[in-house]
Structure 1
Amino acid sequence: MTRRLAPGTTLLFATHNAGKVEEVRALLAPHGVHVESAADRRLPEPAETEATFLGNARLKARAAAAATGLPALADDSGLAVDALDGAPGVRSADWAETPAGRDFLLAMTRVHEALRAAGAPEPWTARFVSVLVLAWPDGEEAVFEGVVEGRFVWPPRGALGHGYDPVFLPRGETRTFAEMSAEEKNARSHRGRSIRAFAAACLGGTAGEGDRG
């Protein structure tokens, strides 16, 4: 049985991504869990050297739990495009790296150029994947996953969200994630689904609105 977090517990969310922190705080707000980020604690970002979402989430969660003595939740997520054999996938953030920092417009452009170079016909089916690992300082762990199917669209649409949101159209929707409010996106997104699975197992309920579609 998965160990539960009591109301008022401080949960370390092992990320420096402000957009992810905002989403997780909103989703977990009803549960009275205090969420701090790795950036809040000025923790170093471990190199994401694993070949899978699970592997990278696990190494980030373990590092944060060991550094703080707190239960640590880590997410590794990305966009997997079928016509690119699942790329950028676990390397989604790497496609955005530049000497000046991450540029996701550049990353989205790179995906589009790769699709054109491959001669891949539309629709460009894709999915967003989020794998969460909850690590306790004593070594106990739990894993949760969320997936949302859809397609890559071009050009980018919308100014909300973060990362690849402007080019991802969820199945059954007419708007990209970047055209949805935070509440609408959280109700449908891969991270919303993985966080709700975590909440059901560890917090005694669901986080935010239920899944749709």
Structure 2
Amino acid sequence: MRKLDTRTIIVASHNAGKIREIADLIGPFGFSAKSASELNFEEPEETGTTFEENAAIKALASAKASGLPALSDDSGLVIDALNGAPGVYTANWAETPDGSRDFAMAMGKVETALQEKGATTPETRTARFVSVLCLAWPDGHTEMFRGEVEGFIAPEPRGTAGFGYDPIFQPKGYSTTFGEMSAEEKHGWKPGDAEALSHRARAFKLFVETCLDA
């Protein structure tokens, strides 16, 4: 495992929600970070079939474009009754004809698909959020960190916090969806904490423990 010997990195993302969450997580560690979006880097085509492949594509593109280490996230919602869909195509389900993303529409697609499968009880609507962080260096070296959180799909969206599919994902053991949680409740984590809740925070915990002298 390679240690990160700088606190200057690129957040390899053009997704405002992801950039915000990653910034919240890395902020306490004294990072100086800019996003690929801020730097106007071209958004690479995500041609992978796994979260790991797509995370590497994004991180390596930003690392090579900047000459600095880059941290990317590829994440998605995996629903058992839908055979793992939308999975790596989570963002694609929200795409509209004009190229924008409508997650209210995407959550509606999920509910329609579940109803078609007869999945109407929590036991038949099990799901997990998956996040894979990739830390890449300009020389092509990468480190991967995978975090998952189990839960189920709520029957209707609840809450306006977070982003994406957060309003329909209710983590196991909680009565609220991610959309009803504050940022601190959803992914607040710091060294010394035994656990992290969100998939992204769990992946970030592994990143800290592996690559940082925190």
Normalising by structure 2, we get a TM-score of: 0.92
Q: Percent identity?
A: 53
- Indicate conservation of the 8 Å contact 1:71/1:134, yes or no: yes
Cα distance in 2 between the residues matched to 1:150 and 1:50? 25
- 1:5 matches 2:5: yes
- The SS at the match of 2:111 is helix
Aligned equivalent of 2:20: 22
User: Which runs of no fewer than 5 residues in structure 2 stay unpaired?
Assistant: 189-196
Q: How does 1:58-69 map to 2 (within 5 A)?
A: 58-69=56-67
Aligned equivalent of 1:195: 204
RMSD (CA atoms): 1.1
Cα distance in 1 between the residues matched to 2:157 and 2:170? 10
- The SS at the match of 2:206 is helix
4+ long deviations beyond 4 Å: none
- The SS at the match of 1:102 is coil
Aligned residue identity for 1:137: P
Aligned equivalent of 1:120: 119
Q: How does 1:51-200 map to 2 (within 5 A)?
A: 51-100=49-98, 101-123=100-122, 124-187=125-188, 188-200=197-209
Aligned residue identity for 1:52: T
Cα distance in 1 between the residues matched to 2:44 and 2:137? 17
Aligned residue identity for 2:209: A
Aligned residue identity for 1:201: T
Aligned residue identity for 1:149: E
User: Which runs of no fewer than 5 residues in structure 1 stay unpaired?
Assistant: 206-213
- Indicate conservation of the 8 Å contact 1:148/1:189, yes or no: yes
What do the CA deviations read for 1:108-151 (whole angstroms, capped 9, x no partner)? 10011011112224210000000011110012111101000000
Aligned residue identity for 1:164: Y
- Indicate conservation of the 8 Å contact 1:4/1:201, yes or no: no
- Indicate conservation of the 8 Å contact 2:3/2:212, yes or no: no
Aligned residue identity for 2:57: L
Normalising by structure 1, we get a TM-score of: 0.92
Residue 200 of structure 1, CA deviation: 1.6
Aligned residue identity for 1:57: A
- Indicate conservation of the 8 Å contact 2:134/2:145, yes or no: yes
Cα distance in 1 between the residues matched to 2:162 and 2:211? 27
Cα distance in 1 between the residues matched to 2:73 and 2:203? 9
Cα distance in 1 between the residues matched to 2:210 and 2:27? 16
Aligned residue identity for 2:206: A
Aligned residue identity for 2:198: S
What do the CA deviations read for 1:15-52 (whole angstroms, capped 9, x no partner)? 11111111111111111111211101101111111110
